[in-house]
A and B are shown apart, each in its own frame.
Chain A
Amino acid sequence: MRKDIVKLTLLLLTASVITAGCAGSNAPANGGNNGNSGGTGTETNGENNTQPEDEPFEITIRHTQVGESKKFRLAMLEDVVKQTEADIPGLTIKLDGVDSEVNRKEKLRGEMAAGKPPEVFDVFGSPDAALFAKEGLMLDLTPIIAELGIQDQFTTLDPFTYEGKVYGLPIGGSVEGYFYNKQYFEDKGLTIPKTLSELEQIAEAIKTDGKIPFAQSSKDAWIPLMTTNNLWSYYGGPEITYGFKSGETKWTDPSVVEGVAKHQEWVQKGYFKKGELGFEYADMRNQIITGEAMMMMDGSWANSVFRDPEQAGDMVGKIGYFNMPPVKEGDPVVVMQDANNGYGFSAAVADDPQKLAAVKAFIGNMWTEEMQLRGLEEDGVLPAMKIDLEKMKTASEDPLMQDIFAAVSEIDISFPAFDALVQADVNTALSIGIQQIIGGEGTPESMLETVQSAQESANAAEQ
């Protein structure tokens, strides 16, 4: 019955277009909307194709591929956009590029509060996506990815899952570990450490040599916290971080204290550059590039910097990568690995079959093995979808990428970054705390007590 109504509307529409001619350009638009609302009930995909195909419409994609370093990623997005426009007649896709941090912290939050995000937008999985999903602002993708048959192809969708439903798809994955100066290691006869104490011996040797063991820039606290997070995950086991929010574990647990204390010990031993507490992110990469520092904890995404002659100069090809080693040799290798950045879609899309079709086509074109491998090859971003390691290795012959692949294959247990597992204000408290520790003020115990009390009040506020 409904199908008949749609067809009837279509018929009337066509008739009105013919009779009204150019002057009637408004009328079909209205008619089209009526037809759409008639068709909303019909769930089947096939029906969407019988929608008025020639009726132009527009969707906006908010992306964060701005600037020189993201040009490859932008080219990929543009290709997907072209493909999607070709698939869906009448579709025009508007690209709206905004700096990642600005989009995350200000722009998207503002639009969400106003209830009107763009149709497609770059979003962080946890905790952002859940917060927006809770307000009913994000499109439930569960049926769409089931229909496209890709629901089981992702390494993890946890960061984008809220109450069992998927609200976003990660664009790429990342791991965190040490970039190091391969040349220097060879010259000094240093080898990749297998235990934490070996790592410390290397650091001591580098320091004795008059160089900086670890590059670090702590003006933004998430940077040193990559190291701290991995340390406490070794001492306390990665599962400990999951328990903070539920109250099963506490920040004051001795193993977390041990992790923070180890980081503090490295600071006290002078393993980081003096004054790095005031440095910006770019500074620490610069310490590696200038040969001032020899190792650097950073996300795998940093490989693009060290592979680009314009940014890394002579250092291209001289940088390697390894995981932070476990406490004892043979213990499981525990590494932060996540896929927390991707795209989400406006809940409003569900009300407009045309846009829904466009979103489906976009997802279908974006999340393919081909695109994932291309991202890896051109941009050094690890796939978010399950892809055979061998295939990955052939995708990029770059030695640094090969190092990263090797490191990924050694991972025994992976964990998401702590800020995906705790509330934003706990992150704020820990951010201040780690800067205090680096600044040589307070003890790990007292700092973590403050974090724990922030955790408790955040937990209480959620109930």
Chain B
Amino acid sequence: MLHGAPFFFTEVTMNKALRNPLTYLLFVLPALLLFLAFFIYPVFTAVYNSFTSWNGISQDKAWIGLGNYTTALDDAAFWQSVKNNGYFILFSCLIQVPVIIIFSLLIAQVKKLKGLYKTAVFLPSIMSTAVIGILWGFIYHPDFGLMNEALGLLGIEPVYWLSDRKWAMLAILITNSWQWTGFYIIMVLAAILSIPAELEEAAVIDGATGLQRALRITLPLILPIISVVIMLSIAGAMKAADIVLVMTKGGPAGSTDVMATYMIRYAITSFKHGFGNSIAVLIFVFTILITAAYQLLVARRVERMDSR
């Protein structure tokens, strides 16, 4: 009883104090307006414009239905750009993720210099992509670049990294993973270091080798964070544009175009604003599809394993 009265009193006062429509509105409005203006409204205008042949200048926008979409889906160059987004995803899942796991396990193991490794590995992630693109453009330079000189030491003929369509995409992917691998290593490392020490110790007593411990104990425990890493890589892959623009402008011959740079090429340089918007919508749709597919097929399973 004695406790009930003040509780009742507080509830009423709190509700009164924290239920004020005007205050609520004032607190919600600035962020909400910005959110609606920059996330929701643009999606609708993009969808609307994607059904027109608007050139970006004219006052009248001719409605052409699905015309832009059929043009895009019939265009081999568009599919090339989709493929390149796919390469971004594949490269991060098949090459970057194993590297991330191996190196975070290694850093977790060592006792000395751990701080140095953490600091250095993370460094590229705080640099601007544009500056990294410039730096690597220099590294890939056929005459003065570090890459060809290094290959030359091994007796390999110079490779025209950014001018040869066989290599240009790979060159960009390498640069991209150089920038981001360290970032993910630090994330995974944090997860490894948060594993209770008792588990490890118990395994050591049981006589498990380092490799066995890594595979049987650490790896299953960090699967959820690896799932997050993959998710973030996919999101990053769908957004990639600046690194391509800075390093190759989508060339040579459109071979390194990703969807976003393809969109820019057509919408801004060719007066095909309506078409560009249809690409924007397609990027949106693809992103949602991939995210949903990943969530349904992979992430759920990981969660189930996690809860087991």
Chain B residue at smallest Cβ distance from A433: B253
B163, A132: Cβ atoms under 8 Å?
Answer: no
Q: Which of A221, A439, A461 contacts B164 (CB 8 A)?
A: A439
B57 engages A424 (CB within 8 Å): no
A315 at the interface (CB under 8 A from B): no
- Quick one: closest B residue to A221, CB to CB? B251
User: In the bound complex, how far is the Cα of B249 from the Cα of A275, in angstroms?
Assistant: 16
- Chain A residues lying within 8 Å of B265, measured Cβ to Cβ, are 428
CB of A436 within 8 Å of the partner chain: yes
Q: Which residue on chain B has the smallest CB distance to residue A128?
A: B271
With a cutoff of 8 Å between Cβ atoms, the chain A residues found around residue B270 in the complex are 424-425, 427-428
Known: A277-B163, A279-B163, A439-B164. A135 touches B272 (CB 8 A): no
Assembly CA distance A63 to B234 (angstroms) = 43
Cα of A64 to Cα of B265 in the assembled complex, Å? 22
With the chains together, A131 CA to B56 CA distance in Å?
11
* A-contact 0/1 string along B183-194, CB 8 Å cutoff: 000000000000
Which residues of chain B from 138 to 192 have a CB within 8 Å of any chain A CB?
A: 142, 158, 160-165, 168
- In the bound assembly, the distance between CA atoms of A436 and B160 in angstroms comes to 15
Residues on A with beta carbons closer than 8 Å to the beta carbon of B53: 461
Contact check, A277 vs B160: say whether CB atoms are below 8 A apart. Answer: yes
Query: Could you tell me the distance in whole angstroms from the C-beta of B110 to the nearest C-beta in chain A?
Result: 40
Q: Which residues of A contact B271 (CB under 8 A)?
A: 109, 131, 424-425
Cβ-defined partner of B57 (8 Å) among A112, A218, A278, A432? A112
- Asked whether B163 lies within 8 Å of A278 as measured between CB atoms, the reply is yes
Q: A248 CA to B160 CA in the complex, in Å?
A: 41
Q: Complex Cα distance A94/B155, Å?
A: 60
A439 to B248: give the CA distance in the assembly, Å: 14
B165 — nearest CB in chain A belongs to which residue?
A: A439
The interface residues of chain A lying within 8 Å CB-to-CB of B254 are: 432, 435
Compute how far the CA of A441 lies from the CA of B165 in the bound complex, rounded to whole angstroms: 9
Assuming A113-B57, A135-B59, is B249 touching A219 (CB within 8 A)?
Answer: yes
Of all chain B residues, which has the CB nearest A279? B163
**B209 part of interface (Cβ distance < 8 Å):** no
Question: Quick check: is A106 within 8 A (CB to CB) of the other chain?
Answer: yes
In the complex with contacts A105-B268, A428-B266, A432-B77, A218-B56 CB distance below 8 A:
no
Which residues on the B side are within 8 Å of A432 (C-beta)? 77, 253-254
- Asked if A449 CB lies within 8 Å of chain B CBs, one says no
Interface readout for A401-430 with B: 1 if CB under 8 Å, 0 if not? 000000000000000000000001101100
User: Are A278 and B162 interface neighbours, CB within 8 A?
Assistant: yes
By a CB distance below 8 angstroms, the chain A residues around B59 are: 115, 135
- In the assembled complex, the Cα of A302 lies from the Cα of B61 at a distance in Å of 41
Query: In whole angstroms, what is the CA distance A277 to B268 when docked?
Result: 23
Task: Tell me whether A276 is interfacial, beta carbon within 8 Å.
Answer: yes
Please pick, from A109, A219, A277, A433, the residue contacting B56 in the complex, using a CB distance under 8 A.
A109
Measured between alpha carbons, how far is A221 from B270 in the docked complex, in Å? 14
Query: Does B252 reach chain A (CB closer than 8 Å)?
Result: yes
Please, which residue of chain B has its CB at the minimum distance from the CB of A450?
B76
Question: For B269, what are the chain A residues with a Cβ–Cβ distance below 8 Å?
Answer: 105, 424, 428
Q: How extensive is the interface on chain A, given as a class?
A: 20 to 34
Residues of B within 8 A of A276 (CB): 163
Set of chain B residues within 8 Å of A175, measured between Cβ atoms: none
Query: Quick check: B57 and A439 within 8 Å, CB to CB?
Result: no
B227 an interface residue at 8 Å Cβ cutoff? no
**Chain B 245-265, CB within 8 Å of chain A: the 1/0 string?**
000110111110000000001
Q: Does A288 contact B (CB under 8 A)?
A: no
B129 contacts the other chain (CB 8 A) = no
- 0/1 interface trace, chain A 374-394, chain B, CB 8 Å (1 if under): 000000000000000000000
A221 vs B57: C-alpha distance when bound (angstroms) = 25
Does A438 lie at the interface of the complex (its beta carbon under 8 Å from any beta carbon of B)?
Answer: yes
| B interface bracket (residues with beta carbon within 8 Å of A) | 20 to 34
Docked Cα-Cα span, A235 to B253, in Å, equals 25
Are B249 and A439 closer than 8 Å at their CB atoms?
A: no
Q: Mark B262-288, 1 if CB is under 8 A from A, else 0.
A: 000110111110000000000000000
- Asked if residues A436 and B253 are in contact (CB atoms below 8 Å), the reply is yes
Contact of B163 among A105, A221, A275, A424 (CB under 8 A): A275
Give the shortest distance, in Å, between A428 (CB) and chain B (any CB): 5
- Is B55 interfacial (CB-CB < 8 Å)? yes
The contact of B251 among A109, A112, A115, A277, by CB within 8 Å, is A277
Residue of A whose beta carbon sits closest to that of B269: A105
Q: Does the CB pair B58–A135 fall under 8 Å? A: yes
Q: Determine the distance from Cα of A109 to Cα of B254 in the docked complex, in whole angstroms.
A: 24
Separation of A106 and B264 alpha carbons in the complex (Å): 11
A221 to B55, CA, bound (A): 23
Cβ–Cβ < 8 Å partners of B161 in chain A:
278
Min distance, Cβ B78 to any Cβ of chain A, angstroms: 12
Instruction: Give the shortest distance, in Å, between B96 (CB) and chain A (any CB).
Output: 25
Interface pair B142/A218, CB less than 8 Å apart: no
Question: What's the least CB distance linking B31 to chain A, in Å?
Answer: 28
In the assembled complex, the CB of A72 is this many whole angstroms from the nearest CB of chain B, namely: 29
Contact residues in A for B77 (Cβ distance below 8 Å): 432
Whether A131 contacts B57 in the complex (CB less than 8 A), given A278-B248, A428-B270, A432-B77, comes out as: yes
Q: Which residue of B lies closest to A106 (CB)?
A: B268
Q: How far is the CA of A350 from the CA of B302 in the complex (A)?
A: 69
Q: How far is the CA of A448 from the CA of B168 in the complex (A)?
A: 24
- Residues on B with C-beta less than 8 A from A115 are 59
Complex Cα gap A131–B59 (Å) = 12
- In angstroms, Cα B144 to Cα A279, docked, is 13
Q: Which residues of A contact B266 (CB under 8 A)?
A: 425, 428
Q: Which of B71, B253, B272 contacts A435 (CB 8 A)?
A: B253
With both beta carbons as reference points, the residue of chain A lying nearest to B62 in the complex is identified as: A461
Residue of chain A at shortest CB distance from B59: A135
| Cα–Cα, bound, A436→B255 (Å) | 9
Give per-residue flags for A117-141: 1 if the beta carbon is below 8 A from chain B beta carbons, else 0: 0000000000000011001000000
Contact check: which of B55, B58, B160 meets A278 at CB < 8 Å?
B160
26 A-B residue contacts at CB 8 Å? A106-B268, A115-B59, A131-B271, A135-B58, A218-B163, A219-B248, A274-B142, A275-B164, A277-B160, A277-B251, A278-B160, A278-B164, A278-B168, A278-B251, A278-B252, A425-B270, A428-B265, A428-B266, A428-B269, A432-B77, A432-B253, A435-B251, A435-B254, A439-B255, A441-B165, A457-B71
B residues whose Cβ falls under 8 Å from a Cβ of A: 53, 55-59, 71, 77, 142, 158, 160-165, 168, 248-249, 251-255, 265-266, 268-272
The 3 closest A-B pairs by CB, nearest first: A278-B163, A435-B253, A275-B160
Interface residues in chain A, defined as those with a beta carbon under 8 Å from any beta carbon in chain B: 105-106, 109, 112-113, 115, 131-132, 135, 218-221, 274-279, 424-425, 427-428, 432-433, 435-436, 438-439, 441, 457, 461
Q: A105-B268, A135-B57 are in contact. List 15 more A-B contacts (CB 8 A).
A: A106-B268, A109-B57, A109-B268, A115-B59, A131-B57, A131-B271, A135-B59, A219-B249, A278-B163, A278-B252, A428-B265, A432-B77, A436-B252, A438-B252, A438-B253
